[in-house]
Amino acid sequence: MTIAVLSTVTTALTVVVGVFVASLAYRGYRRNDSETMRALVVGIVLIAVVPGLATTGLPAVVEVNDAGVLLVALLSHTLGLVAIYRSLD
């Protein structure tokens, strides 16, 4: 198995697990109508799902170099951490 294949499989697994965890948190948000749970959902999606989709899908949609993809992933991580911080506040 090459590094590229392993990286793709790991990215896909991260996105799938992220969607699963976010869906559980979303169910909690809907059940309790809790703003903090909504912030947690947003944070999980921004940390686990968006970077994976950006690294695999963004270059296929728009012409972007590796630095642009990395910037999108890092901004997504940062915003996700801010959202999770707000859910804990």
Which tokens is 19 given? 């969607």
Long-range interactions of 20-27: CB distance < 8 A, separation 24+: 21/48, 22/48, 22/49
C-alpha span between 73 and 69 (Å, rounded): 6
Q: Split the chain (89 residues) into runs of 10 and give each run's mean pLDDT.
A: 90 96 96 94 97 87 89 96 93
C-alpha span between 31 and 37 (Å, rounded): 10
Question: What pLDDT is stored for residue 89 in this prediction?
Answer: 76
| Domain ranges across the chain | 3-88
> What's the whole-model pTM score?
0.88
